[in-house]
Amino acid sequence: PRSVTTLSLASQKRRGRKISMVTAYDFPSAMHVQRANIDIILVGDSCAMVELGYDTTQPMTLDQMIHHCQAVQRGVTASMNRSNDAKPKKPLLVGDMPFGTYEYNDLDIALKNAYRMVKEGGMDAVKLEGGSKHRAEAIKHVVDGGVAVMGHIGLTPQAISVIGGFRAQGRTAARAREMIDEALRLQDAGAFCVVLECVPGNVAKAVTDTLEIPTIGIGAGNGTSGQVLVYHDMLGMMSHPHHEEFMPRFCKSYAQVGHAITEGLDAFKKDVESGNFPSEEYSPYVMNDEEKKMFE
């Protein structure tokens, strides 16, 4: 297989080839994303919101995250095994370290939990939110321990209780300069890549031009080394002809999967109620005539 690695991603940035990243949380979504030859699959803690129905990402536990990582890892493997492609592409698998699993002064807690994401969850790398000096130390400790780390600055949803709401970051010159400092700090700590969430395009471009490692934007304009979107958002998973759908302003809708699901369910219900399903075609189990006679 052709594997996406931290090295191949660095070379993609150098050669000006944009990096694609999409989230996946389970077996089927992982198969879909692998089949589309997306470069990176992120098992994001957005899972808490789009899969589990929480209002924030904070409730996600490490055990829950690992459970989803395992399903994604199996989905990627199954998808590659079933592929007709002689050299199916193996995306880089990155898993979010959940809120409360890497922030402690005891950096070994972060490292131990990162090992669980790799050894139990099957991830190639982990993602940690934040750009403080303390966070950079945690990242350095995890990378020294042998686990590749993706950084994440700008809007960091796990910090919702501190920042007060999901809103854009780095909108003043002073905050923008701080963001460049944070990004450099993460690069120095050994991060192989940094996610920039909800920051002005000119700031994201300045960060990207300053760093050697690639940046991946979400709501960060077109000047980053790559783009990430949340599976459920971009595919219109929750779309419904008579329900309002929440959609972040920066997210483009690439499909209305929810509409297709609703149509399928409506058709099934009609078929059941009319007796059209199952027709003979879908009634495969039959008794031979002799047994039938004896049964009558």
Q: Site residues (CB under 5 A) for Na ion? A: 44-45, 96
Residue 268: C-alpha distances to residues 237, 257, 259, 261, 281 (Å): 19, 17, 14, 11, 15
Instruction: Give residues 190-209 in contact with ligand KIV (rule: CB under 6 A).
Output: 195, 197
Active-site residue flag, 280: no
* Residue 147 contacts ligand KIV per CB under 6 A: no
* Residue 20 contacts ligand KIV per CB under 6 A: no
Residue 96 or residue 110: which is nearer to ligand KIV going by CB?
Answer: 96
Contact 199, 178 (CB under 8 A): no
Contact 202, 208 (CB under 8 A): no
Residue 44 or residue 236: which is nearer to Na ion going by CB?
Answer: 44
Count of residues binding ligand KIV (CB under 6 A)? 11
The torsion of the CA quartet 109, 111, 101, 120, rounded to 10 degrees, works out to: -120
The option from Na ion, ligand KIV, none interacting with 219 (CB < 5 to 8 A, set by class) reads none
Residue 44 or residue 122: which is nearer to Na ion going by CB?
Answer: 44
Among 4, 13, 22, 23, binds ligand KIV (CB under 6 A): 23
Residue 143 or residue 195: which is nearer to Na ion going by CB?
Answer: 195
Handedness of CA 68, 31, 74, 116 (dihedral sign): negative
Instruction: Give residues 159-178 in contact with ligand KIV (rule: CB under 6 A).
Output: none
Amino acid letter at 195?
V
Among 12, 22, 39, 45, binds ligand KIV (CB under 6 A): 45
Q: Which two tokens stand for residue 17?
A: 């080839």
Among 12, 20, 46, 215, binds ligand KIV (CB under 6 A): 46
Q: Segment contacting ligand KIV (CB under 6 A): 40-48, 184-192, 247-255, 279-287?
A: 40-48
Among 69, 123, 143, 218, binds ligand KIV (CB under 6 A): 218
At closest approach, how far in Å is the CB of 163 from ligand KIV? 15
* Residue 26 contacts ligand KIV per CB under 6 A: no
Any idea which residues carry the catalytic annotation? 197
Query: Which spans of this chain sit near ligand KIV (rule: CB under 6 A)?
Result: 23, 42, 44-46, 96, 195, 197, 218, 228, 230
